[in-house]
Amino acid sequence: MPLGQRAGDKSESRYCGVETEYHDDMPHLLTHSLSGGFDFIVAPLVDPSYRPSSMRNDVGSCSVLPVAASDLVLSPSQWSSHVVGKISSWIDLDSDNEEVRLGSEITLKQEIAWASHLSLQACILPPPRQAACGNYARCVNQILQGTSNMQLWLRIPLEKSESMEDCSADANSDLPAGGMFDSWEWWNSFRLLCEHHSQLSVALDILSSLPSNNSIGRWFGEPVRAAFVHTNSFLTNARGYPCLSKRHQKLITGFFNHSIQIVISGNVRHNISGDIIEALPANNDESHEVTPSRHSLKPYLDYVAYIYQRMDPLPEQERFELGYRDFLQSPLQPLMDNLEAQTYETFEKDIVKYTQCYFQLQYQRAVSKALIDRVPDENASTAIMVLMVVGAGRGPLVRASLQAAEETGRKLKVYAVEKNPNAVITLHSLVKLEGWEGIVTIISSDMRCWNAPEKADILVSELLGSFGDNELSPECLDGAQRFLKPDGISIPSSYTSFIQPVTATKLYNDVKSHKDLAHFETAYVVKLHRIARLAPSQPVFTFAHPEYSKKGNERYKKLLFEIPPDSGSALVHGFAGYFDATLYKDVHLGIEPSMATPNMFSWFPIFFPLRKPLYVPKGSLVEVHFWRCTASTKVWYEWCVTSPSTSPIHNSNGRSYWVGL
């Protein structure tokens, strides 16, 4: 049964499995594990003593694979839902011994074929025995080319040490002693040889010692599907029950948040006479009946369930965003296309921008401060400020501006300029509904073409994209600033774009699946989730308004990123982009992670992919070049890396991706 119920969490990480030994009575093994509270088993499918050579030498035997059970002993749904196959751990496809190597190839293919026949969803591949695993990867890649649905999970120890001697003391580690070791390098070599195949994933072995947080962080951008938590990773609390260190608890919580399933592995290491629930806090009120057939690893399962159950429920905003996680979307073309009602509806669900929540609306705060600065208290009852909302949409910024006027006791005359004729219909209805006829004038026009009858004291706009300027706010506001008085105020007053290198295997595979150049040269709006942020973000382009220098809106920036030394090597699949905007004075709005406005749905980050993932050795700098290019009818970005290796310049001359003026 699932570890517990948590609002909004329907991910696979609710289910916990158990690793078992080979057993010729598969129905009994499965029944015992499921009745003990586990949701699935990770079990060898073939007798571990089997060797192809012994079968060939045995004259009296037929070449029948000694499997654990007939496919008939379980239903197809049981095989598919409750069994993960475990490939024989003895295989060594890169052995210098030809008999061992050939036997390993035969066995791997036989066991995968049997697992596929059983309709298993996944099989666990044993870890590479050495960094040089070319033949192992070749055989797995061959299998992947002919596999339709089954996933192959390569088992990798979560290990990084300056010396192999640091990890050789672990009882579950088969790693050689001496020298430096980073298990991520094993995985990276293997997946490169397998061409980043989307059905090749990772199963991490969690041992008693953990590498640095930065080293662990790399894995959250990789396709990790399961984490084997060994019983020798558990500590013992004062009452003799198993528990985990704070770092292990935090790691497992991270796994839950990234849909990574936990598998309990190993032998019982705690002598427990009672039920584990007695040792857990009172809020863990799930009751268990102790029976003679109680699974010996149930106390470890209970502790993992306890970690899951004490996690906070997903906030409403995150539950709303679940379906958008790691889903690539093409950026809007706001000048070329008229937005649909559903798009406006999505924007207006943002609980920070458009509704009163924990604090006042950022735009309302900005307009309030601007009105107070613009109109002294002694003139509040007589002075009428002219405010123009350019790009009014369905009216949320008009409403925020009028609320700011009411809050500050100032008087406003509002022009709502909107080019979308369908949104203008809604604006007219809103004016009548709210009784704004004497205050709000609706202008159905492109702001670049309209001739205003008077100058504005305050110009309000929301033309910002995920990268700040990517929806052409600079070009629009440059054209609209002719409406402003010489000392007029623009809200926003400035905005800056940011980028950072990321590991994003899922996003890379999704782009690669299109099998063309154009998709690798397109920037995508995406709710980033299964990524690893490899270095802090850095500013790229800044625009300020009003802008009277007429220096143009083309930009170029070179940036150097240093991945923390304790992270180890990393693979960069692309760059995550964000923005931060100063609306007015100290009022900010943005999605840059270190200073993001909480709970914003209207803007997801932007993702700039690389055509070929960039391998960054430990201690290397990542040198990135970004250009913002303009022409008479379009604006586009170009990007490349020049260190530690050189990539092509992406999207040269806007051949694949551009925004139309």
pLDDT for 336-379, tens place per residue? 555 444 444 544 554 444 444 333 479 999 999 999 999 999 99
Instruction: Give the span between the Cα atoms of 88 and 85, in whole angstroms.
Output: 10
For 630-659, write each residue's pLDDT tens digit.
Answer: 999 999 999 999 999 999 999 999 999 999
Percentage of the chain modeled with pLDDT above 70:
88
Residues 6+ apart with CB under 8 A from 363: 353, 397, 400, 401, 460, 462, 491, 583, 589
Q: What does DSSP assign to residue 530?
A: S
* pLDDT above 50 (res 288): no
The gap from C-alpha 628 to its chain's centroid, in whole angstroms, comes to 26
DSSP character string of 53-106: HHHHH-TT------BSS-TTSS-HHHHHHHEEEE--TT--TT-SSHHHHHHHHH
Q: Which of 76-90, 446-460, 592-606 has the lowest mean pLDDT?
A: 592-606
Instruction: Give the span between the Cα atoms of 502 and 535, in whole angstroms.
Output: 8
Under the banding of pLDDT at 50, 70 and 90, the label for residue 270 is: confident
Residue whose pair of structure tokens reads 């623009």 in the numeric block: 490
Query: What residues does CATH 3.40.50.150 cover in the chain?
Result: 341-462
Instruction: Give the span between the Cα atoms of 9 and 120, in whole angstroms.
Output: 24
* pLDDT above 70 (res 280): no
- Map residue 154 onto helix, strand or coil: strand
Under the banding of pLDDT at 50, 70 and 90, the label for residue 492 is: very high
Binding positions: 344, 353-354, 418, 446-447
Single-letter amino acid, residue 210: L
Tokens of 351: 């609980």
Q: What are the DSSP E strand ranges found in 283-439?
A: 384-390, 411-418
Instruction: Give the span between the Cα atoms of 471 and 633, in whole angstroms.
Output: 14
Q: Which residue, among 371, 595, 589, has the nearest Cα to 461 in the 3D structure?
A: 589
Residue 602's pLDDT is 74
For 570-583, write each residue's pLDDT tens digit.
Answer: 999 999 999 999 99
* pLDDT above 90 (res 269): no
Q: What does DSSP assign to residue 650?
A: B
* pLDDT above 60 (res 156): yes
Write the CATH number of the domain with boundaries 12-314. 3.20.20.150
C-beta of residue 104 within 8 angstroms of C-beta of residue 46: no
* pLDDT above 80 (res 131): no
Residues 6+ apart with CB under 8 A from 172: 157, 205, 207, 230, 232, 265, 266
- Residues known to be catalytic: 462, 471
Q: Which long-range contacts (CB under 8 A, 24 or more apart) does 138-147 make?
A: 138/193, 139/93, 139/105, 139/108, 139/109, 140/108, 140/190, 140/194, 140/200, 141/193, 141/194, 141/195, 141/197, 143/108, 143/109, 143/112, 144/194, 144/197, 144/199, 144/200, 147/112, 147/116, 147/199
Please give the average per-residue pLDDT across 272-286, as a whole number. 42
SS3 labels along 433-490: HHCCCCCEEEEECCCCCCCCCCCEEEEEECCCECCECCCCHHHHHHHHHHHEEEEEEE
For 10-59, write each residue's pLDDT tens digit.
Answer: 888 999 999 999 998 999 999 999 999 999 999 999 999 998 887 655 54
Q: How many CB atoms lie within 10 A of CB 295?
A: 19
- Higher-confidence residue of 358 and 473: namely 473
pTM of whole model > 0.85?
yes
Is domain 494-660 classified as CATH 2.70.160.11? yes
Q: Which residue, among 103, 117, 127, has the nearest Cα to 67 in the 3D structure?
A: 117
Q: Which helix (H) or strand (E) holds 205?
A: strand 200-206
Residue 322's pLDDT is 85
Q: Which of 230-244, 275-289, 314-328, 518-532 has the lowest mean pLDDT?
A: 275-289
Torsions phi, psi of 307, nearest 5?
A: -60, -45
Under the banding of pLDDT at 50, 70 and 90, the label for residue 106 is: very high
Q: Which helix (H) or strand (E) holds 363?
A: helix 362-374
Q: In what order do the strands lie in the sheet with 555-562?
A: 555-562, 621-630, 634-643, 659-660
Query: What residues does CATH 3.20.20.150 cover in the chain?
Result: 12-314
- Map residue 637 onto helix, strand or coil: strand
Residues 6+ apart with CB under 8 A from 469: 495, 497, 541, 543, 553, 579, 628
Instruction: Give the span between the Cα atoms of 180 and 160, in whole angstroms.
Output: 8
Helices (H) and strands (E) in the chain, counts: 18, 28
Instruction: Give the span between the Cα atoms of 446 and 147, in whole angstroms.
Output: 54
Please give the average per-residue pLDDT across 248-254, as a whole number. 97
Torsions phi, psi of 278, nearest 5?
A: -60, -25
Architecture of domain 341-462: 3-Layer(aba) Sandwich (3.40)
Binding positions for S-adenosyl-L-methionine: 344, 353-354, 418, 446-447
Residue whose pair of structure tokens reads 């970004």 in the numeric block: 626
